[in-house]
């Protein structure tokens, strides 16, 4: 593997790490971002949108963030329906690194299949899985955390990168840190005592105050062999399925085997299938990430990531938006060329698309998911 490929000029170069030659990034690009409806849709999910005004889709920013670490060794796992859109966003992606799922099966199947394919190509591979739709600043701090994680993973650990909480979120799972590790070049590494589910408000307050908890951002760096070992132990059916597909992957049998096996796989999150039992077995470590992180979970997050450009306190997103604001504040996403007049509502959220309109407030941003579920129940599927 040519390390030179991995350090484009002008990017930070954490390449003085021979272990990165074993590193292969994986980007699971799933989920529709229901709380960002009607901007995010089944046909155009969150990761295909530019939600930060950067000029590129979230998945492209994710890919670019990993290139200095992994070069072209980056695999994307996404739904079949998004293959063309992902390819258009990532022209450097190689065909061997695009894994298309016949149907959604949650993260364990996606990451497990990636691990199994990568294992067959090189059993010494250290994989790093990073969701396609996260916003991370600064990129250099993220890359340093990944390098630490890779160094710890090489000691046969599954390593997650945790986020230092900035408020008592009830929307994220948490990681309780254990004792510090003693791995050279990874001074911040610690064992993981346990993973904790999304807490109630009071518990979240305690987690924040204790200083012992990090947000679980779903980032995992691990030897593929270790990932598969825990998957086999905890989800034997799922493990057998993805290994059967992986055996056929780089052959002419790929299509008919995945068609046959994929529908039989259980849908389960990687946290339950691997991370939690592996933590209980003492096999999981964590590197606290020294960067700001957002999963752009709802329109309130979109407002945080895109501060208002003017004194009205209103964030306006959308090319050629024609928005008139009088005594109002909040966020307007304009996906049409319509004139939008907003009068006398604070912290409002207006999302205007050709076939669907959302009007809510930042405080109710989480309830958008309920609206989508209700629309689905009422058969309004053309706009979902």
Per CB under 8 A, residues contacting a copy of itself are 37-38, 322, 324, 326-327, 338-345, 348, 350, 352, 354-361, 363-364, 367-368, 370-371, 374-375, 378, 380, 383
Angle at 25 between CA 233 and CA 227, to 5 degrees: 10
Candidates 156, 161, 132; CA nearest to 144 is 161
Least distance to a copy of itself from the beta carbon of 351, Å? 9
Helix (H, G, I), strand (E, B) or coil at 222: strand
| Beta carbon nearer to a copy of itself, 182 or 310 | 310
From CA 64, how far away is CA 12, in angstroms rounded? 12
Least distance to a copy of itself from the beta carbon of 141, Å? 36
Beta-ladder partners of 213? 176
DSSP string, 297-348: -SHHHHHHHS--SSTT-EEEESTT-EEEEES--EEEEE-SS-EEEEES-TTE
From CA 178, how far away is CA 72, in angstroms rounded? 35
| Beta carbon nearer to a copy of itself, 91 or 344 | 344
**Residue 252, token pair as written in the block:** 């002419």
From CA 193, how far away is CA 282, in angstroms rounded? 8
DSSP structural state of residue 272: I
Angle at 79 between CA 76 and CA 82, to 5 degrees: 85
- What is each CA distance from 290 to 145, 205, 360, 371, in whole angstroms? 8, 21, 33, 35
| Beta carbon nearer to a copy of itself, 92 or 359 | 359
Beta-ladder partners of 288? 162
| Beta carbon nearer to a copy of itself, 269 or 357 | 357
> Regarding beta strands 23-29 and 74-79, do their DSSP bridges make them parallel or antiparallel, or are they unpaired?
parallel
Least distance to a copy of itself from the beta carbon of 103, Å? 25
Least distance to a copy of itself from the beta carbon of 337, Å? 8
Least distance to a copy of itself from the beta carbon of 369, Å? 10
Least distance to a copy of itself from the beta carbon of 375, Å? 6
| Beta carbon nearer to a copy of itself, 225 or 375 | 375
Beta-ladder partners of 159? 221, 285
Beta-ladder partners of 74? 25
Least distance to a copy of itself from the beta carbon of 326, Å? 6
| Beta carbon nearer to a copy of itself, 61 or 353 | 353
**Residue 143, token pair as written in the block:** 């890359």
DSSP structural state of residue 233: H
| Beta carbon nearer to a copy of itself, 9 or 381 | 381
| Beta carbon nearer to a copy of itself, 93 or 358 | 358
From CA 192, how far away is CA 283, in angstroms rounded? 8
Least distance to a copy of itself from the beta carbon of 294, Å? 22
């Amino acid at each position: 593997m040519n390390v030179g490929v991995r350090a484009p000029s002008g990017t930070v170069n954490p390449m003085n790490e021979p272990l990165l030659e074993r590193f292969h990034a994986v980007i699971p690009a799933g989920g529709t971002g229901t709380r960002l409806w009607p901007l995010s849709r089944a046909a155009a999910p969150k990761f295909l949108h530019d939600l930060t005004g950067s000029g590129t889709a979230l998945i492209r920013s994710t890919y670019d963030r990993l290139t200095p670490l992994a070069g072209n060794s980056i695999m994307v796992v996404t739904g079949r329906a998004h293959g063309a859109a992902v390819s258009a966003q990532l022209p450097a992606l190689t065909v061997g690194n695009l894994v298309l799922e016949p149907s959604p099966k949650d993260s364990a199947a996606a990451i497990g299949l990636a691990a199994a394919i990568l294992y067959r190509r090189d059993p010494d591979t250290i994989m790093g899985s990073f969701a396609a739709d996260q916003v991370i600043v600064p990129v250099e701090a993220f890359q340093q955390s990944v390098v630490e994680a890779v160094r710890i993973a090489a000691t046969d650990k599954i390593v997650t990168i945790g986020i230092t909480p900035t408020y008592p979120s009830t929307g994220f799972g948490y990681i309780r840190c254990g004792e510090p590790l003693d791995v050279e070049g990874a001074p911040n590494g610690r064992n993981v005592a346990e993973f904790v589910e999304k807490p109630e408000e009071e518990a979240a307050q305690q987690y924040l105050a204790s200083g012992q908890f990090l947000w679980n951002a779903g980032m995992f760096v691990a030897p593929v062999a270790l990932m598969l070992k825990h998957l086999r132990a905890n989800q034997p059916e799922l493990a057998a399925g993805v290994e059967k597909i992986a055996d056929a992957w780089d052959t002419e049998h790929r299509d008919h085997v995945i068609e046959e096996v994929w529908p039989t796989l259980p849908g389960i999150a990687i946290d339950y299938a691997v991370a939690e039992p592996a933590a209980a077995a003492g096999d999981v470590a964590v590197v606290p990430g020294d960067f700001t992180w957002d999963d752009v979970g709802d329109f309130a997050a979109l407002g945080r990531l895109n501060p208002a450009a003017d004194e009205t306190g209103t964030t306006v997103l959308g090319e050629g938006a024609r928005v008139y604001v009088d005594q109002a504040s909040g966020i307007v996403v304009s996906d049409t060329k319509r004139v939008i007049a907003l009068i006398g509502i604070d912290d409002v959220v207006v999302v205007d698309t050709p076939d669907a309109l959302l009007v809510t407030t930042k405080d109710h941003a989480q309830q958008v998911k309920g609206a989508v579920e209700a629309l689905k129940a009422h058969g309004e599927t053309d706009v979902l």
